Structure 1
Amino acid sequence: MDAAGATAKAGAWAAALRWDDVPPRVRERLELVLLDTLGVALAGAREPEQRRLVEAWRPADGPAPLLGAGRTTTVEASAWLNAAALVRLELDEGNKYAKGHPAAHAFPAVLALAAERGASGPETMAALLVAYEVASRFGRATSLRAGAHPHGSWGVAGAAAGCARLLGLGADDVAAAIDTGAGLPVAGHFGSALDGNPVRDAWMAASNLSGLAAARMALGGVARNTGTAAIALGELLGGFDPDAVADGLGERWDVELGYFKRYAACSFTHPAADVVLALRPEIPVDDVREVVVETHALAAGLTRTTWDSRLGALFSTPFVVASALVHGHVRPAASSGAALHDPRVEALAARVVVREAPDLTARLPDERAARVTVRLPSGDVTREVPNPVGDSAHHPMDAAALQDLLAELLGSATAIEVARCSAELAAAGDVSIPLRRLACASTP
């Protein structure tokens, strides 16, 4: 199957999907992903950097929510700024099979467009599911070149699909929107994230905005499906397998295979954090001579033992491991203010060694494992985990666990309000009503 044929199949599936036909378990999982997305975006919206960005943007009034800002704005500004907030703290949901973050690539755009249109809850949920499933399959299909970061590339196709579905386009036009989105990728380098450059957040914001543009091009009849993904995502950015795009559509639901993040850090650091937090009650932190983290090839480059920004720290396994041992958590507070350069964390991070273990690399993609050895005067302690806690295949989070996590991030009252708005949205006659309330969600 060529890329145009695969895209046509995805477009036909997306146009035909009806919320009533989605299995209950899949609906429940999508509702959890939506809850996580809204809560994490609201947490990111509170950060000083995000507030400064909104002030500098001077967004105009409009129908779409600007999370945490107490107001609404244009569809485009809502999609861009909410997407940046969503990824700011490195807490957004992800999918190891997609090799990135399907929801963050598309949900802000779909929700902004749904608010403008006064779409119903079922219409909006169907569009969100389409966005996730198409984005995830384009992620599976794309093999990015070494050094490329997944933000803003393959996921644009999902944003386009979700927005086109919400616009009520037919199969051919949805396919044209998807193909156009596939031709609008960002070529971002992983080194920018390691350097702590916030352009990484803008890549995800660009994905949402480009998805909107692609859907509107299709609505206007100026988009075509020519198999652009094979060139843009394949020849230019790496490789592209068209068969993966249509694989299992309507049978395998990738939204069920994702993970929620307990720590404000790159997901590649999470298994090591899980290990050291489990060991922490048993080991005297001041006696730690060295921590050796063996991991898979995808995570082996997160080795930096110094950082000059929060984002740079969130992409440093030494920082995350040291913070977990010193503070007993890796919440946003561990990387903000004075905590970012806590001398205890910096000293311990200098004794964290990260290296690839070929046997762990061989277990990708089903496992993103880590083996951690803590060296103490009394001897070495070694433990291994197959995936981070929160992965659908390893101690998955249910609604109660996710609500507890959001309560830690937002405070109990706000977390309850986010959950109420999220639940109302799924069944609403007009989703703009709960989304406007969410934009005004209180701060602690």
Structure 2
Amino acid sequence: MTVPTTAAAQRDAREATDVLGAWAAGLEWADVPADAQERMRLVLLDSLGVTVLGARQAEQRALVTAWRPADGPAPLPGAGRCTTVEAAAWLNAAALVRLELDEGHKFAKGHPGAHGLPAVLALAADLRATGPDTAAALVVAYEVAARFGRATSLPPGAHPHGSWGVAGAAAGCARLLGLSSAGLAAAIDTGAGLPVAGSFASALDGNPVRDAWMGASNVSGLVAARMASAGVARNTGTAASSLGGVLGTFDAAPLTAELGTRWDVRHGYFKRHASCSFTHPVADAVLALRPELPGDVGEVEEILVETHSLGAALDRTTWDSRLAALFSTPFVAAAALVHGHVGPDVSAQPVRDDPRVRELAARVTVRVAADLDARLPHERAARVTVRSGGRAHGCEVPNPIGDAAHHPLSEADVLGLLSDWLADDATVAAVRDVATGLPAVPDVRPLLQRLV
């Protein structure tokens, strides 16, 4: 049911977007605090590495072949070629999220980076933008997306991919185009009017349309920025009726709260498990318990997972695709116990059909615990109890390892994960060099093209 938008709500959205546009237009890389700069480089390192990994998957290679992308200036990392800005923005975004390894943000309730970083990088390669301008645009894309994520409350059953984050993609691309404050605001507002209404059931069903929503976000961000550059976009407070009203509810206040003092890029999380973030505390708890459990998983009688309401729907004990497995808490718990990790390989064929994993997953029960629910959004906790041989083994974790507020991952940690997943030292070194060196180069195109 669509909720009518009040004039006051539309005015608040318009005015907040004006303020956000002025901030984004004026931001320089040198203005970003050193720790936020370092975190942005780490987000870029992780995102580029995961994009290369996603690009190497058979499904992504088939998608690129079917797309038949024209030659162009923008690289497809890991795919061995360059293509047009729009094709790179879409295909790289899909590769980035394909294995559920992209960086995320619990307060934004989704993935600010993946919504716009591929578009900004593709456009930067086309424009031969400087490193400082590109780095500033990446920060703008992330921060604006995160603030729109905080401002938007989607209804139960909605997936966050491709909705509130389009505004961030638009902002980053508009900043790269050097638009004025008014132009930035118009681009952001237009991006807020181009959301996808995605169902979480698609992810649970293993439908890759979920990946396409991120591709759409990045291309829509380019569209919004170009409309603003052409002077045909306006800021009318669209978010109040699109993200609010039609898709959910929208409160404009978070768009400008602590603007310039709170850097949301500092507060995200990196993933060490290839699965939905709601399953990560479960995997961490199972791995912590694993040394005290019997070596034969057939002796495990039950695994009880208590979680928060956001993770309640991830309770399916069967799966028929990789994506469906990545969104199954029973799969993740069973795979962690059987294999000792939840890396990308455990959800690939034929490993995901290991009889030990399927049989153990059938003995996993997922329940919502009110006490864990009450700790949202600061904690995304899980409590796991494994019953075996008449004994109960329990472990509770407040947040997944990798969360900025709970065992954050360092650059060495991220590089270690990428080395394990890619098994290619030369590629990992290239990704590291691009992420580290990008903010200082006079022209980002040659640097980014090292990743093909």
Partner letter of residue 303 of structure 2? V
Using the TM superposition, give the Cα deviation of residue 68 of structure 1 relative to its aligned residue in structure 2, in angstroms: 1.2
Out of 164-173 and 377-386, give the one that drifted further. 377-386
Query: d(CA) in 2 for partners of 1:249 and 1:79?
Result: 28
| SS, match of residue 365 in structure 1 | coil
- The separation in 1 between residues aligned to 2:369 and 2:440, in whole angstroms, is 47
Please state if 1:372 is matched with 2:384.
Answer: yes
SS at match of 2:82: strand
Mapped to 2, the partners of 1:314 and 1:250 lie a distance apart of 36
Give the structure 2 partner of residue 320 of structure 1.
332
2:122 maps to what in 1? Answer: 112
C-alpha deviation, 1:174, in angstroms: 0.2
Residue equivalent to 1:442: none
TM-fit CA distance, 1:426: 2.2
User: 1:346-357 maps to which residues of 2 (within 5 A)?
Assistant: 346-357=358-369
Which residue of structure 1 lines up, in the alignment, with residue 185 of structure 2? 175
* Cα distance between partner residues in 2 of 1:269 and 1:117: 40
Alignment of 1:208-287 (within 5 A): 208-284=218-294, 285-287=297-299
Residues 375-394 of structure 1 show CA distances to partners (whole Å, capped at 9, x for unaligned) of 11141011100000000011
**Runs (4+) off by over 6 Å:** none
Once residues 101 and 428 of structure 1 are traced to their aligned partners in structure 2, the CA distance between those partners, rounded to angstroms, is 27
Partner residue in 2 for 1:134: 144
Residue number among 405, 416, 420 corresponding to 2:417 in the alignment: 405
| Structure 1 gap ranges (5+) | 440-444
TM-score by length of 1: 0.98
**What SS class does the counterpart of residue 228 from structure 2 fall into?**
helix
> Partner of 1:289: helix, strand, or coil?
strand
Q: What's 2:435 paired with?
A: 422
Retained in 2: the 8 A contact 1:183–1:228? Answer: yes
77, 81, 87: which one aligns with 1:67 = 77
Partner of 2:342 in structure 1?
Answer: 330
Seq. identity, %: 68
* Alpha-carbon distance, 1:417 to partner: 1.8
Whether the aligned pair in 2 keeps the contact of 1:131 and 1:161 (CA below 8 Å) is yes
Question: What amino acid is the match of 1:87?
Answer: V
How many residues are matched?
Answer: 439
Residue identity in the other structure for 1:316: S
Q: How far apart in 2 are the matches of 1:437 and 1:426?
A: 16
CA contact (8 A) 1:115 1:435 kept: yes
TM-score by length of 2: 0.96
Select which of 382, 386, 394 maps to 1:382: 394
Structure 2 distance, partners of 1:207, 1:186, is 8
Distance, in Å, in 1 between the alignment partners of 2:130 and 2:161 is 29
**Are the counterparts in 1 of residues 298 and 356 from structure 2 also a CA contact under 8 Å?**
no
Q: Is structure 2 residue 318 aligned with structure 1 residue 306?
A: yes
Q: Distance in 2 between matches of 1:436 and 1:424?
A: 13
**Does residue 22 in structure 1 map to residue 32 in structure 2?**
yes
Distance 2:432 2:183 in 1: 34
d(CA) in 2 for partners of 1:108, 1:219: 19
Does the aligned pair in 2 maintain the 1:422–1:434 contact within 8 Å?
Answer: no
Worse overlay, 79-88 or 334-343: 334-343
Q: Match for residue 33 of structure 1? A: 43
